[in-house]
Amino acid sequence: MTLTEFVIATIVKILLVLGIVSALAGFGTYLERKVLAFMQRRLGPMHVGPYGLLQVLADGIKLFTKEDFVPQNSIRPIFMIAPLIGAASAFIALAAVPLLPEFKIFGITVHPIIADVNVGILFVLGVMATGLYAPLLAGMASSNKWGLLGAARTVIQLLSYEVVTGLSVMAPLMLVGSLSLIDINNYQANGFKEWIIWQQPVAFVLFLIAGFAETNRTPFDLLEHEAEIVSGFATEYSGMRWGMFFIGEYTNMITLAFLASLVFLGGFNEWGFLPGGLAIILKVSFLFFFFLWTRAAWPHVRPDQLMWLCWKVLLPLAVVNIVITGLVLMM
């Protein structure tokens, strides 16, 4: 493959991933509203299009045509660039994630990963953590006390979950011996019994909990919990800048679902009679549904409870898990 071909192929992949994932993120808002509604015995959006299917479109028109409002005493450039950081970091994180198994189309073998970095999981987690700059900068720049509180909570949250994410992933990485997501996937190639979740159930639970905190989803949605701090960091935002935070959040959810299914749930290997591509899409859909499910079922925690949980419960558990894994590996 020449350099030109490589560049063109990469650009096509980038455009495809960007288009499909941002469309999915938009559709995700519709799904979330529907699933939450059904779980609460409501109907959800019903008026735009059949069963409200075009609601996303209506929301998009609304967001794009809304006034782009910047409050008076805010720090203008940072206020304007913060949502871009959120959306961009979410999509950049997706670059190192292998989305599907490689397949052939028109005689060309396609690797559905934009950049096969050999430290893939480090890259993804690092870039996703960078995404926390978005609420932090947004909250601090918007000259609003709710925004400031949201930003302060961002720091609390980052300090809490980030350690747990890293430590919980470390035990599976010790088993695999590689940071590349493709290697991790290939480690589980021999079917259902080889999934890492059976060897590392504790790490899986810890990773999911930390992931909920990372994507700012309901049990840990401290940053913008409207009953306490209006809308947190997003209080002063409107229109598409606000929408960008949402696209970032939903993209992060998709990325995290991919990560969890790649590292713990067997990735895109064939699962029984299911081909690999379908298998990973099913796993990711289930994890995405799980995100919505917990939002309907569980109350959210206070910031101090989150710190208590992460530092006093999850961190020791993760360390113990690593030690035991290490001992077992040595024997």
List contacts with another protein (CB under 8 A). Answer: 35, 38-43, 46, 293-294, 296-298, 313
Indicate the residue among 119 and 297 with the shorter CB distance to another protein. Answer: 297
Q: How far is the CB of 331 from another protein (least distance, A)?
A: 28
Indicate the residue among 297 and 328 with the shorter CB distance to another protein. Answer: 297
Q: How far is the CB of 46 from another protein (least distance, A)?
A: 7
| 8 Å CB contact between 48 and 57 | yes
Indicate the residue among 133 and 290 with the shorter CB distance to another protein. Answer: 290
Q: How far is the CB of 159 from another protein (least distance, A)?
A: 21
CA dihedral 264, 184, 207, 317 (to 10 degrees): 100
Q: How far is the CB of 177 from another protein (least distance, A)?
A: 32
Indicate the residue among 47 and 193 with the shorter CB distance to another protein. Answer: 47
Integer Cα distance of 217 and 249 in angstroms = 9
Q: How far is the CB of 204 from another protein (least distance, A)?
A: 16
Closest CA to 252 of 27, 94, 85, 60: 94
| Residue appearing with tokens 């024997």 | 331
Q: How far is the CB of 220 from another protein (least distance, A)?
A: 14
Residue 32: count of CB within 10 angstroms of its CB: 19
Q: How far is the CB of 42 from another protein (least distance, A)?
A: 5
Indicate the residue among 121 and 213 with the shorter CB distance to another protein. Answer: 213
H-helix or E-strand spanning residue 103: strand 103-105
Integer Cα distance of 77 and 21 in angstroms = 27
Instruction: Annotate 126-162 with DSSP letters as a single string.
Output: HHHHHTTHHHHHHHHHTT-HHHHHHHHHHHHHHHHHH
Q: How far is the CB of 288 from another protein (least distance, A)?
A: 15
Q: Residue 245 in 3-state DSSP?
A: helix
Indicate the residue among 9 and 205 with the shorter CB distance to another protein. Answer: 205
Integer Cα distance of 269 and 101 in angstroms = 8
Integer Cα distance of 229 and 245 in angstroms = 17
Integer Cα distance of 244 and 313 in angstroms = 34
Indicate the residue among 25 and 209 with the shorter CB distance to another protein. Answer: 209
Q: Residue 271 in 3-state DSSP?
A: strand
| Residue appearing with tokens 């299917």 | 53
Indicate the residue among 10 and 305 with the shorter CB distance to another protein. Answer: 305
Q: What is the DSSP letter of 328?
A: H
